Amino acid sequence: MNQLEVYLFIALIMFSLGLWGVLQRRSLIAMLISVELMLNAANINFLAFNRFLAPEPAVGQIIALFVMGTAAAEAAIGLSIFLAVYRRNQNIDIERIRDLKG
Amino acid sequence: MPPLPEVIKPDWIAQGAFWLIVGVTLTGAVFAVFLKQIIHNILGLIVSLFGVAGIFIYLNSEFLALMEILIYVGAISISFVFAIMLSEPMYKEKSKRNVFKTVFTGIVAGLIFWSFSTIITKTPWEAAAVKSDEWSVRAIGNLLLTRYMLAFELISFVLLVAIVGAVIIAGQGRRQRSSQ
């Protein structure tokens, strides 16, 4: 509990699950959910290093806050793109969205 | 308050709560990735995010834990739920993933896991010399409005652009349809 490696391994498991989800899931929304998992794993890593190794503990928290802000922007843009894709194709399954496939 | 019996130590309670939170986080992550129904995925993600907030408390960052619940659970997950409601009908049949690709994704994720775990265990982590010992929200606010002023303003600008862009992108299809 008071060891850096424990937190790093928790974040690593979350990151691997998220990576697997991004590569495996077929629905765009499910892929974005997996991306959120990966971003959270990165945030855990930032705060773990901040807690155990960093010289100034406020800085890591600020970086994690920036990650959250970027994640919010990314989710807003991504979801609105998915809605536009759905209106066009009546589907957000990536195996069936083939307009850009040459 | 009567003293706790000898066998129960506060340290054990903290340990137990920690591993409980870790279990909740990882179970939620597994639900978010492996379940078939998209709405179950998003509920798993919410459970996992609450767990992550708990982990943040153990990492001494209470402010970030509150922000995690506020931003991720309160805003991002809810917008996911709305997007699911507006886009993905659950009765639609899903396309099958071919077996070769499934095996390959498993190999890639496993490889990443293995290599990073090797890095984590092999690296000798050394703490940097402590410059300040200030964990408080006051210190965060101070730094945000002095040293990280530019980044702070840029983030707010990015969020503004994202909001406007989301409105324009999501509204476009509707305008086209109504003009046809």
ipTM of the complex: 0.92
List C-alpha distances in Å: A81 to A21, B65, B130: 20, 29, 45
Query: Is A56 touching B (CB cutoff 8 A)?
Result: yes
**Structural domain includes residue A85:** yes
- pLDDT at residue number A75: 93
**pTM of this structure:** 0.88
What SS3 class is residue A27? Answer: strand
pLDDT class of B104 with cuts at 50, 70, 90: very high
CATH number at residue A72: 1.10.287.3510
Measured CA angle at B129 (ends B128, B132), to 5 deg: 110
A89 reaches B (C-beta below 8 A): no
In a domain, A97, yes or no: no
Nearest CA in chain A to B131: A55
> What is the structure's pLDDT at B175?
64
Provide the residue range defining the domain that includes A50.
Answer: 4-89
Look at residue A19 and tell me if it is in a domain.
Answer: yes
A3 and chain B: CB distance < 8 Å anywhere?
A: no
pLDDT of res. A95: 79
Assigned fold of B12-91: Four Helix Bundle (Hemerythrin (Met), subunit A) (1.20.120)
Contacts of B127 in chain A (CB under 8 A): 52-53
pLDDT tens digits for range B115-170: 999 999 998 888 888 888 888 889 899 999 999 999 999 999 999 999 999 999 88
Each domain of chain B, given as residue ranges in start order, spans: 12-91, 136-180
Which residues numbered 10-49 in A keep a CB inside 8 Å of some CB on B? 10, 12-21, 23-27, 29-30, 32-34, 36-37, 40, 43-44, 47-48
Mutation for testing the A interface, residue in B50, B52, B78 having most A CBs under 10 Å: B52
Residue A101 domain flag:
no
The verdict on residue A16 lying in a domain is yes
pLDDT at site B45: 95
Q: Would you call A93 helix, strand, or coil by DSSP?
A: strand
The answer to whether position A37 is within a domain reads yes
In a domain? residue A98: no
**A96 found inside a domain:** no
- Judge: B127–A84 Cβ closer than 8 Å, yes or no: no
Phi, psi of A27 (to 5 degrees): -95, 140
Residue B101 burial class via C-beta count within 10 angstroms: exposed 0-12, middle 13-18, buried 19 and up:
exposed
How many domains does the structure of chain A reveal? 1
Best residue of B76, B86, B98, B154 to probe chain A, by most A CBs closer than 10 Å: B76
